[in-house]
């Protein structure tokens, strides 16, 4: 009897060593240790033996039962361990997968330019202001001294929004409306720059985008002169482009400034490159915002951020900035 039991134990251990899931383990547990198992039956038969034999046989049966129990326990432990490994594997986030292949992303060239412009002007004591991209005729034109009949309205190639009266709501065609919003909400002295998106009906070509970015500057304080404007532009140009680059003002015309100028920067070959417009804030504009032009004077300037990026990096085509070709973008 004991001999058969030993063989059963060997078989049990062999099968338990191979068991692959908990259901199978439960079946083996019943088969080898349950009520109808060989060990249980053997234990029951012990009663028919005489006392001496019963003692030795009983010890052996108990040992064999203990062996099988240990085998069941270690199979259970092995399965639990395997389940843990599987779970950890399933939950694993492999952050090393792209090592060597992964590129770190970077800010878009225009965003970088905008951030740098803000840094330079903040360094000169300006704060950053913002305004909405959808504007009314009052902010985009009227308050800026461009009445309805003014020919300058046509030159802005405005994209109108079909809302309210005809030509009443529009995508702002420049950042200058932020001048008005700032002066309406803030008492002088005012020293702000306002970067942001602007829109015109232009067809995209090598030098134009229908959606582009400008930065506006506005200073309103006592005793401000054209000299302050020229000095501010010069300081900005030195800081942004480097010490060798010079700036100059050329007489021009804008309805919202008087006098008005365009400002250029010098190039290495001695020629000049136009950057933007500027001038002394027109008294009508100050009045439109409830500011007394006899007490306060101001200057303003505005230029394209995308154009600036094109110049600084000598790009052939401004459309590169919006084509979203990573081979281009990742160079910056
Ligand atoms: N708003 C003008 C434009 O988009 C640029 C400009 C010119 C802004 C002169 C100014 C300024 O603030 O003083 O063409």
Residues near 133 by beta carbon (within 8 Å), at least 6 away in sequence? 171, 172, 196, 197, 199
Give the residue, by CA position, lying nearest to ligand 1 atom 5: 302
pLDDT in the model for residue 5: 87
pLDDT in the model for residue 103: 74
Mutational test site, ligand 1, from 276, 303, 308, max ligand atoms within 8 Å of CB:
276
Cβ proximity of 277 and 261 under 8 Å: yes
Share of the chain above pLDDT 90, in %: 76
Q: How far apart are the CA of 81 and the centre of ligand 1, in A?
A: 72
pLDDT at 102 over 80: no
pLDDT in the model for residue 129: 98
Cβ proximity of 213 and 197 under 8 Å: yes
pLDDT digits (tens, 9 = 90+) for 182-198: 999 999 999 999 999 99
Instruction: Note the residue count of the chain.
Output: 332
pLDDT at 135 over 70: yes
Q: Which atom of ligand 1 is found nearest the CA of 279?
A: 13
Average of per-residue pLDDT across 73-88:
91
Q: How far apart are the CA of 302 and the centre of ligand 1, in A?
A: 4
pLDDT at 243 over 80: no
| Residues in a beta bridge with 127 | 192
pLDDT at 267 over 90: no
CA distances from 288 to 48, 142, 263 (A): 118, 9, 26
Residues near 13 by beta carbon (within 8 Å), at least 6 away in sequence? 67, 68, 71
Which residues surround ligand 1 with Cβ inside 6 Å? 174, 176, 216, 254, 257, 277-279, 300-302
Give the residue, by CA position, lying nearest to ligand 1 atom 3: 174
Average of per-residue pLDDT across 151-164:
94
Give the confidence band of 308 by pLDDT, cuts at 50, 70, 90.
Answer: very high
Per the prediction, the chain carries an average pLDDT of 93
Q: How far apart are the CA of 175 and the centre of ligand 1, in A?
A: 8
pLDDT at 312 over 70: yes
Average of per-residue pLDDT across 177-185:
98
Q: How far apart are the CA of 295 and the centre of ligand 1, in A?
A: 23
Q: How far apart are the CA of 279 and the centre of ligand 1, in A?
A: 8
Q: How far apart are the CA of 303 and the centre of ligand 1, in A?
A: 7
pLDDT in the model for residue 98: 65
pLDDT in the model for residue 44: 86
Which range (13-17, 101-105, 126-130, 168-172) has the least confidence? 101-105
pLDDT in the model for residue 99: 67
pLDDT at 35 over 80: yes
- φ/ψ of residue 139, rounded to 5: -75, -40
pLDDT in the model for residue 282: 98
Q: Can you give the pTM of this predicted structure? A: 0.71
Q: Which atom of ligand 1 is found nearest the CA of 179?
A: 12
Top pLDDT among 103 and 149 is at 149
Give the confidence band of 168 by pLDDT, cuts at 50, 70, 90.
Answer: very high
Average of per-residue pLDDT across 284-304:
98
pLDDT in the model for residue 97: 63
Average of per-residue pLDDT across 166-195:
97
Which range (21-35, 114-128, 283-297) has the least confidence? 21-35
Average of per-residue pLDDT across 36-58:
87
Give the residue, by CA position, lying nearest to ligand 1 atom 12: 301
Mutational test site, ligand 1, from 153, 174, 209, max ligand atoms within 8 Å of CB:
174
Dump the DSSP string for 192-259: EEEEEEEE-SPPPBTTB-SEEEEEEEEEEETT--HHHHHHHHHHHHHHHH-TT--EEEEEEEETTEEE
Average of per-residue pLDDT across 12-35:
91
Which three-class secondary structure state does DSSP give residue 159?
strand
Share of the chain above pLDDT 70, in %: 98
Q: Which atom of ligand 1 is found nearest the CA of 257?
A: 13
Q: How far apart are the CA of 216 and the centre of ligand 1, in A?
A: 7
Give the residue, by CA position, lying nearest to ligand 1 atom 7: 277
Q: How far apart are the CA of 101 and the centre of ligand 1, in A?
A: 45
Sign of CA dihedral 123, 124, 125, 130: negative
CA distances from 37 to 13, 42, 70, 165, 220 (A): 14, 9, 16, 94, 99
Residues near 24 by beta carbon (within 8 Å), at least 6 away in sequence? none
pLDDT in the model for residue 49: 86
Least Cα distance to 289 among 134, 142, 174, 135 occurs for 142
């Amino acid at each position: 009897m004991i001999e058969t039991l030993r063989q059963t134990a060997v078989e049990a251990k062999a099968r338990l060593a191979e068991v692959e899931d908990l259901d199978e383990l439960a079946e083996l547990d019943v088969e080898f240790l349950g009520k109808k198992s060989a060990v249980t039956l053997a234990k029951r038969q012990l009663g028919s033996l005489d006392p001496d034999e019963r003692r030795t046989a009983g010890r052996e049966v108990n040992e064999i039962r203990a062996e099988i129990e240990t085998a069941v326990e270690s199979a259970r432990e092995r399965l639990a361990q395997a389940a843990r490994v599987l779970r950890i594997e399933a939950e694993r986030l492999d952050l090393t997968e792209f090592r060597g292949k992964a590129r770190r992303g970077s800010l878009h060239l225009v965003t970088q330019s905008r951030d740098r412009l803000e840094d330079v002007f903040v360094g000169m004591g300006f704060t950053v202001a913002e305004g909405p991209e959808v504007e009314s005729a009052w902010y985009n034109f009227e308050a800026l001294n461009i009445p309805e009949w003014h020919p300058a309205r046509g030159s802005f190639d405005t994209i109108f929004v079909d809302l309210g009266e005809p030509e009443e709501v529009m995508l702002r065609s420049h950042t200058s409306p932020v001048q008005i919003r700032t002066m309406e909400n803030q008492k002088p002295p005012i020293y702000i720059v306002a970067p942001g998106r602007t829109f015109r009906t232009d067809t995209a070509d090598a030098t134009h985008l229908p959606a582009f970015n400008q930065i506006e500057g506005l200073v309103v304080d006592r005793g401000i002169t054209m000299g302050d404007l020229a000095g501010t532009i010069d300081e900005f140009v030195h800081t942004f482009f480097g010490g060798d680059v010079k700036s100059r003002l050329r007489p021009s015309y804008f309805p919202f400034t008087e006098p008005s100028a365009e400002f250029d920067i010098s190039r290495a070959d001695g020629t000049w490159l136009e950057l933007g417009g500027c001038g002394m804030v027109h008294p009508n504009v100050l009045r439109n915002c409830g500011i007394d032009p006899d007490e306060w004077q101001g200057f303003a300037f505005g230029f394209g951020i995308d154009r600036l990026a094109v110049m600084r990096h000598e790009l052939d085509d401004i459309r590169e900035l919006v084509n979203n070709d990573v081979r281009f973008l990742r160079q910056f």
